[in-house]
Structure 1
Amino acid sequence: MSRAQPRRDALWMGAAIAVLLVALLSSRWWLGDTPGQMHFDARLAAPSLDHWLGTDALGRDLWARTLAGLSLSIGVGSLAALIGTFIALGMALLAMLGPRFDALVALVIDTLLSVPHLILLLLIAFALGGGTQAVIIAVAVTHWPRLARLLRAELLQLRHAPYIAMSRALGKSQCFVMVYHYLPQVLPQCVVGALLLFPHAILHEAALTFLGVGLDPSQPAIGLLLADAMRYLSSGVWWLGLFPGLGLLLVVLSLERLASHWRHAL
């Protein structure tokens, strides 16, 4: 297999998933207020031609609410993953300023990684009062250490490279070395790292919302749909939890697969 084949596969898969994400994100506009419309004469209706995925306890269409929830989760997850990637890159570059900064960055990374992930997420989200902003901050703050450790290790190998030593001998500033030597070397890792953070951010956003410290209850988030489904599992209303959970699983697995393809391509 040629070297170009993994890149073509990554591009095709990236294009297909980009179309899927755009369709999900745009669903909040073409769905309008459908996810919140109540039809009490169709409460807990099973999947049918009128309601493809059934309805919930208030007669709201589960198809519309699942699409709206996935759209919301993708928006929150993408923003959290992007912020987390920038934090990781900034901390890795900060470690290159000297031994003291490197020791400080290593201490912060080890401290955050020593705390159980979900507990730290809950503490930060609860301290910030919950809501969309709290979830984004909590997920971003807790997801950057592993990527920062990887970027830092990559930069430590480059710090004593001959061309970087020559650049410093020619009088180039530390800022110049970072922008023109360090940054281009770690950008592929940042891209893959952001793609890997994306599905984790979506899952943890859903987990926080499921536990009651995430998004506002008035929003059709996937975590809220799954939490509501827990009340009716023993009643045989299986569709309330199956379809939102399946939609979340498909989105996360697609993003994981895309990240794997891009890792091989880069």
Structure 2
Amino acid sequence: MEAATNLKQKLIISVAFSSGMIVCILFLSMLLDGTNLLTDATQKSQPPSLHHIFGTDWLGRDMFIRTIEGLSFSMLVGVIGSLVGVVLAIGLGVSAAMFGKKVDSFISWLIDLFIGMPHLIFMILISFAVGKGALGVIVAVGLTHWPTLARVIRNEVDAIKSADYIKISKNIGKTSFYILHKHILPVIFPQIMIGFLLLFPHAIIHEASMTFLGFGLSAQVPSIGLILSEAVKHISLGDWWLAVFPGVLLILLVKSFDNIGESLKLIWMPPTTKL
């Protein structure tokens, strides 16, 4: 019992630390003055200093502000894309479990099809079809990150629908929508929340990857992928800070969301101990 309590306390501290970092990035993005993003030829390619803690780029723009703005925008794209993926996962997962074997077989085949496709290539094709830009990235993320969560939801709903209280609700005339809204969704909410939090880091990484390769956001939009793509051209000149600081913060941000999701998974759904 004491070991379980200590583990839970460590997980809560871990979630608090990761959440604090995310909130700090969002707060700084609203607080920082964007005037330092203007080009300044007198400050170009400056190494890290007290005045510019992340240095400046080849146009004299402050890299700390660019990095914070890029991370906050990447989080926004990740949130919307992950929400689209979660909505698709809920709709298809619930439909597969509740609407008969034919629907289940079709959706299971669709899940296998999407899982079997290379994520990044499929996202690039979707982004091109939509018209690239932020909309293309969001649609690409949403349409490629639902299958695993949909399979989890399908299995959970399939197990729940045979419970006695579900049968009683059907016998007294409750509609399928009522049963879904009152009995099923509240039970699978932890899985949905954890699935969303675990989708988030994948969404951010894939958005950065697409933009890095030139298939994502436009050059006018702040993005970590764009910052890293531009930095590659200048690393050979010795401007190492252009890639190191944005890259490290991107890794920390992704790890923070992944850490929150895994910690909540252990808190809400602790593994069963076999005797």
Q: TM-score, normalised by structure 2?
A: 0.90
1:150 and 2:152 aligned: yes
Q: Which amino acid aligns with 1:67?
A: I
* Structure-2 residue corresponding to 1:70: 71
Among 167, 174, 177, which residue is 2:176 paired with?
Answer: 174
Higher mean Cα deviation, 175-184 or 255-264?
175-184
* Structure-2 residue corresponding to 1:42: 43
Aligned pair in 2 of structure 1 residues 86, 8: CA closer, same or farther (>3 Å)? Answer: farther
| Aligned 8 A contact 2:18 2:259 in 1 | no
- Tell me, which stretches of 5 or more residues in structure 1 are unaligned? none
Question: 1 CA distance for matches of 2:239 and 2:231?
Answer: 8
* Structure-2 residue corresponding to 1:55: 56
Q: CA-atom RMSD, angstroms?
A: 1.8
| Aligned 8 A contact 2:127 2:136 in 1 | yes
Number of residue equivalences: 266
Question: 2 CA distance for matches of 1:6 and 1:27?
Answer: 32
Question: 1 CA distance for matches of 2:200 and 2:190?
Answer: 16
SS in 2 for 1:235: coil
* Structure-1 residue corresponding to 2:260: 258
Question: 2 CA distance for matches of 1:206 and 1:34?
Answer: 25
Q: TM-score, normalised by structure 1?
A: 0.93
| Aligned 8 A contact 2:81 2:203 in 1 | yes
| Aligned 8 A contact 2:43 2:60 in 1 | yes
Question: 2 CA distance for matches of 1:232 and 1:149?
Answer: 44
- Tell me, which stretches of 5 or more residues in structure 2 are unaligned? 269-275
Q: Which amino acid aligns with 1:18?
A: S
Among 79, 98, 101, which residue is 1:99 paired with?
Answer: 101
TM-fit CA distance, 1:180: 1.9
Higher mean Cα deviation, 11-20 or 149-158?
11-20
TM-fit CA distance, 1:15: 3.8
Higher mean Cα deviation, 90-99 or 218-227?
90-99
1:67-114 CA distances to partner (integer Å, 9 max, x unpaired)?
111111111111211221121111111111222221222122112112
TM-fit CA distance, 1:5: 5.1
SS in 2 for 1:232: helix
1:116-136 CA distances to partner (integer Å, 9 max, x unpaired)?
111111000111111111111
Higher mean Cα deviation, 184-193 or 107-116?
107-116
Question: 1 CA distance for matches of 2:95 and 2:200?
Answer: 24
TM-fit CA distance, 1:232: 1.6
Question: 2 CA distance for matches of 1:212 and 1:146?
Answer: 27
* Structure-2 residue corresponding to 1:135: 137
Among 222, 225, 232, which residue is 1:223 paired with?
Answer: 225
1:167-205 CA distances to partner (integer Å, 9 max, x unpaired)?
222222211221122212211100110110011111111
Q: Which amino acid aligns with 2:158?
A: L
